[in-house]
Structure 1
């Protein structure tokens, strides 16, 4: 198996402040590139925070020019980044929870959250998911938070040949034990690595547990953040074996 380096961007989101969050994302991307990261996954709704009441005002078309600085950065760094943003369904006025993949080749892929958490239906509509990603020789399937609470979602990813199941999430301390056990189980049961990117702190009135993590194809926990706070959780595969490390990210905005 070829070398592959992935990371969870455990970042802090400023409520509804797209400009500040864009700057924060650019900083994380720069640090990730310095660490040799090829795929960087941000938390659910990372560019706006988990702010349902603001979603309709903040939602964009995925092709909106507001994302161009991130797309340019990804291309310049040769890095693929998955960022969270409310998006508008082109065929309706519905607002969806999007995970947008900004490719190192300048491409854009759109994933929309399929399974909503209780209460999210007040602000969002269920999405349609999206295609898997090909990065080098690896196939990556995406999930956004409550998607992974449905075992069928991870099973479908495995059936499509996913080598990595990558989830951007918002998980509090209360739910962390159950949710992390689910993700670890998917890794073990489906023989696919699992990456989980959680928020670094408070967002939308929810205090994140942090503790972003990576599990190998055997279900072994390779690396996890110790708690909240802005860090990169990096996993690197070399000669078929995974090693991990946590790198602090200093953001001065």
Structure 2
């Protein structure tokens, strides 16, 4: 097994402020690059916050120039990053919950959330998922929050040969126990590492539990944030062994 370093960006989102959130993402990417991170995953709708009522006004084509600073940063820093954004695909009026992969090689991939939470259908339409990612010798399958509540979603990822199942989420304290147990179970039953990137605090009226985490392909917890708050949750695999690290991220107000 080759060396592989992944991280959950447990970040705050300013409601509807794309410029402020891009600046925050750039800071997280810079700190992650300093730590040698290969893949950095942000929470669900990280670029806008979990703001359903704003989604239709903020949804963009994934190729929109607004995202260019993030794409440029990924290429310049040599890091792969997955960011969350409401999107509207070309020639479509539907608003989707997107997870957009900015490749270190300048590539760009679009994943759209397939399974919606109850109530999300007021603002969003179900998406079509997306292709797996190839990062070095590893295959990565993405999920966005409620996607992983369907066991078939994780099973499909495993069937595609995923070494890592990476989910950007918004999970509160009440749901954390059940959801984290599900993710840990997928790691163990499918022999694939699992990463969960949760919000750092309040967004869309929901208080996140934080506690972003990474489990190894054996289902053991590698590292987890102790609670909410902005930090990187980093997991490094070397010669088949995992080690975890927490790095605080200072972001200017």
Cα deviation per residue 1:125-179 (whole Å; 9 max; x = unaligned)?
0000000000000000000000000000000000000000000000000000000
Contact 2:44/2:170, CA 8 A, preserved across alignment: yes
State the SS of the aligned residue for 2:22.
Answer: helix
Match of 2:93 in 1: 93
> Is the counterpart of residue 137 in structure 1 residue 142 in structure 2?
no
Match of 1:232 in 2: 232
State the SS of the aligned residue for 1:55.
Answer: helix
Contact 2:62/2:110, CA 8 A, preserved across alignment: yes
Match of 2:248 in 1: 248
State the SS of the aligned residue for 2:179.
Answer: helix
Match of 1:60 in 2: 60
Query: Cα distance, 1:92 vs. partner?
Result: 1.7
Count of equivalent residues: 253
Cα deviation per residue 1:28-55 (whole Å; 9 max; x = unaligned)?
0000000000100000000000000000
Query: Cα distance, 1:26 vs. partner?
Result: 0.2
Structure 1 ranges of 4+ moved more than 4 A: none
What is the correspondence of 1:194-233 to structure 2 with a 5 Å cutoff? 194-233=194-233
Query: Cα distance, 1:91 vs. partner?
Result: 3.6
Indicate the RMSD between aligned Cα atoms, in angstroms: 0.5
Distance across 1 between alignment mates of 2:91 and 2:199? 31
Contact 2:222/2:235, CA 8 A, preserved across alignment: yes
* TM-score, scaled to structure 2: 0.99
Cα deviation per residue 1:64-100 (whole Å; 9 max; x = unaligned)?
0000000000000010000000000324200000000
State the SS of the aligned residue for 1:66.
Answer: helix
Match of 2:187 in 1: 187
Q: Which moved more, 1:89-98 or 1:110-119?
A: 89-98
> Is the counterpart of residue 79 in structure 1 residue 65 in structure 2?
no
Query: Cα distance, 1:198 vs. partner?
Result: 0.1
Distance across 2 between alignment mates of 1:37 and 1:8? 10
* TM-score, scaled to structure 1: 0.99
> Is the counterpart of residue 34 in structure 1 residue 34 in structure 2?
yes
Cα deviation per residue 1:179-212 (whole Å; 9 max; x = unaligned)?
0000000000000000000000000000000000
> Is the counterpart of residue 4 in structure 1 residue 4 in structure 2?
yes
Contact 2:62/2:89, CA 8 A, preserved across alignment: no
Distance across 1 between alignment mates of 2:177 and 2:225? 14
Distance across 1 between alignment mates of 2:121 and 2:225? 31
Gaps of 5+ in 1: none
Gaps of 5+ in 2: none
